[in-house]
């Protein structure tokens, strides 16, 4: 039986960092953020729908989506964010479940679905176990500003539209505290996978 692990957290809490660590254990990861980029590539119906709803101004000169511009709109307007979600999320869910099912069919011991909005979108039933990657607000804000070059205001607006990571942690089967070093995070992940019988102790 494949264990389907949902990996979530809040923006810049460290999901991608943890996601890379699964590689070390030979466990495949399906990344919802990556899929959400694939489904809006030029020629895809979701991009045409975004242009219809948000206008041609959302395209860069080369015909690709102007993510920065669209981000400015949707992270400051709840209604518009919902409109975008309604265009992008069904496609992402379709790709995610078909890839998950392929891994299950192959008999992998585990597969990870890295889904930033797992709780917000009510996708708990897609997975067997949930790991929340936690970082306290200050750490999250600092890492987000450093990684993406956002002002404090821009970073806060992105954090604010998600369920607080503390609440997510309460709903998890396991929590990784990512306030410390990446090595400490790695050790926590290893222990969780051992406890779940996915990895064997060394």
Ligand X SMILES: CC(C)(COP(=O)(O)OP(=O)(O)OC[C@H]1O[C@@H](n2cnc3c(N)ncnc32)[C@H](O)[C@@H]1O)[C@@H](O)C(=O)NCCC(=O)NCCS
Instruction: List residues forming the annotated binding site.
Output: 12-17
The token pair that represents 73 in the structure block: 């709109």
- Tell me which stretch binds ligand ATP (CB under 6 A): 8-16, 52-60, 85-93, 188-196: 8-16
Sheet holding 129-134, edge to edge: 29-31, 110-114, 3-9, 129-134, 174-177
Interaction residues for ligand ATP, span 105-164 (CB under 6 A)? 116, 143, 147
**Residue 8 binds to ligand ATP (criterion: CB under 6 A):** no
Pairing of strands 129-134, 3-9: parallel
**Residue 16 binds to ligand ATP (criterion: CB under 6 A):** yes
DSSP 8-state class, residue 59: B
> Looking at the DSSP assignment, which residues form a beta bridge with residue 134?
177
The token pair that represents 26 in the structure block: 């030979």
The binding site for ATP comprises 12-17
Name 202's Cβ contacts closer than 8 Å, sequence gap at least 6: none
Question: Taking the mean position of all CA atoms in its chain, how far away is CA 23?
Answer: 17
Shortest Cβ 11–ligand ATP spacing (Å) = 4
**Residue 116 binds to ligand X (criterion: CB under 6 A):** yes
**Residue 36 binds to ligand ATP (criterion: CB under 6 A):** no
**Residue 13 binds to ligand ATP (criterion: CB under 6 A):** yes
- CA 56 → CA 47, 52, 113, 132, 156, distances in Å? 10, 8, 33, 37, 28
Q: Which of 36, 140, 178, 188 binds ligand X (CB under 6 A)?
A: 36
Backbone phi, psi, residue 168, to 5°: -65, -40
> Looking at the DSSP assignment, which residues form a beta bridge with residue 59?
65
**Residue 185 binds to ligand ATP (criterion: CB under 6 A):** yes
DSSP 8-state class, residue 77: -
**Residue 81 binds to ligand X (criterion: CB under 6 A):** yes
Shortest Cβ 29–ligand X spacing (Å) = 14
Report the partner that residue 117 touches, choosing among ligand X, ligand ATP, none (CB closer than 5 to 8 A by kind): ligand X
x/- contact string, 4-23, with ligand X (CB under 6 A)? -------x------------
The residue ranges that bind ligand X (CB under 6 A) are 11, 32-33, 36, 67, 70-71, 74, 81, 84-85, 88, 92, 116-117, 158, 161-162
């Amino acid at each position: 039986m494949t264990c389907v692990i949902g990996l979530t957290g809040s923006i810049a809490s460290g999901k991608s960092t943890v996601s890379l660590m699964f590689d070390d254990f030979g466990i495949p990861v399906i990344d919802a953020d990556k899929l959400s980029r694939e489904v809006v590539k030029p020629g895809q119906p979701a991009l045409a729908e975004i242009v219809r709803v948000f206008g041609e101004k959302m395209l860069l000169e080369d015909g690709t989506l102007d993510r920065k511009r669209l981000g400015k709109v949707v992270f400051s307007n709840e209604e518009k964010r919902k409109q975008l979600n309604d265009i992008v999320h069904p496609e992402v869910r379709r790709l995610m479940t078909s890839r998950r099912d392929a891994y299950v069919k192959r008999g992998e011991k585990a597969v990870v679905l890295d889904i930033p909005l797992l709780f917000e979108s009510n996708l708990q039933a897609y997975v067997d176990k949930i790991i929340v990657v936690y970082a306290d607000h200050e750490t999250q804000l600092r890492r987000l500003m450093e990684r993406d070059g956002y002002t404090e205001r821009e970073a806060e607006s992105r954090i604010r539209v998600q369920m607080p990571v503390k609440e997510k942690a309460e709903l998890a089967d396991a929590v990784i505290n990512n306030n410390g070093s990446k090595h400490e995070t790695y050790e926590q992940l290893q222990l969780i996978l051992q406890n779940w019988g996915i990895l064997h102790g060394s």
